[in-house]
Chain A
Amino acid sequence: MRALVGRTFGSRRRSVPISLSDIRKWAIAIYYPEVPPRLFWDEEYAATTSHGGVVTPEEFNPFAWFTAEGPVMAPTWEGPIRDSGPESAFGVRSPDTTFILNGGIEVSYGVRMKPGDVITSSETTLLDYQERQSRLGLMLITRTEATWTNQNDQTVKVIRAIGIRY
């Protein structure tokens, strides 16, 4: 498995154009039960800010539910999670684990996303593996990196994700 470190896997994803409605719903979900900032839903107000219009919250995910390739059918998350890690992309057998968790996220931001933008996520690079003992047993920690760009090839964000399997 260590030979996989530094290699890329997966495929590029391209979003459908970001809609104002999706931005509004995202903002409501984050700020509920309070009204979200006007920057995320009020076009008239947003036009007066330095952004010149509505933008997404930085953490907005344009790949949920649907991409340019069609519907995103999420896994049922039932049964064993074998082959849920990046190893399967290289034909390498994954270790036996039962659970998978989001261990952490590191993001560097570039330009903001806004309505109409089409976002592309790069292939994913496997950065490293670590093993760690925890109260839940021996854990396999996998760090990966992907870059999002917009339709003008401007970097939107660089995401380093920490996956935990145990």
Chain B
Amino acid sequence: MQIEVGQDIPTFERMSGFHAWNRFAAVNDEFVPIHMDDDAGRRAGNPGAFGMGNLQFAYLHAALRQWIGDDGQILEVACQFRAPNLRGLTTITRGRIVALRDQGRETVVDLEVWTETEEGTVMAPGSATVMVPKSVSEGWAVEDLNL
């Protein structure tokens, strides 16, 4: 095993704004004023419109998928939405390995996952568990982790 507890997985980064939120609204039928209208966002106590929690949840999955590959399996993902995902910021999705377990032909990995702004404000902290075939995980090298 060439990965260790404490290592970070590659980030998944996306600019936040209507170009992303409108696309997600279109596929998830999530046309809610706080995600479309600055006045509605302000009435809800935020600086303006903000992105969907479900989209940040999807970004957490995208970060995990780009790391474990097509043959990996996401077992669990959880997060809370603590800060608004505002227009113009870059949403950076991160993950850090907190535990590794051998399970037959597979490796089970527990991670701390979260989204944050470029300034480091955490928006959606959470956790995840993934399972990866050993044929894949034993090929991971530290340099592949984009540290």
Contact = CB atoms under 8 A, between A and B. Distances in A.
Contacts of A65: 29
Interface stretch (B1-9, B76-84, B137-145): B76-84
Contact of B77 (A32, A74, A107, A162): A107
A61 interface: yes
Given A29-B24, A50-B71, A136-B45, A103 B81 contact: yes
Interface residues of B, number: 40
B23 A58 contact: no
A26 B20 contact: no
A135 interface: yes
Contact of A29 (B26, B75, B80, B126): B26
A101 interface: yes
Contacts of A162: 80
A104 interface: yes
A39 interface: yes
B78 A57 contact: no
Contacts, number: 102
A109 B53 contact: no
Contact of A77 (B32, B65, B71, B78): B32
A59 interface: yes
Nearest to A50: B71
B61 A39 contact: no
B81 A102 contact: yes
Contacts of A72: 29
Contact of B78 (A39, A107, A136): A107
Interface string A119-152: 0000000000000000110000000000000000
A99 B54 contact: no
B87 to A, nearest CB: 15
Interface string B44-86: 1100000011110111011001100011011111111100000
A59 B54 contact: yes
Contacts of A58: 61, 74, 77
16 contacts: A30-B55, A30-B62, A32-B14, A32-B23, A39-B70, A49-B70, A50-B70, A58-B74, A59-B58, A64-B30, A77-B32, A102-B54, A104-B126, A105-B57, A135-B45, A162-B80
Given A57-B65, A107-B77, 10 more contacts: A22-B27, A30-B24, A30-B59, A32-B20, A37-B66, A50-B71, A59-B61, A99-B43, A104-B79, A104-B80
Interface of B: 14, 19-20, 23-24, 26-33, 43-45, 52-55, 57-59, 61-62, 65-66, 70-71, 73-81, 124, 126
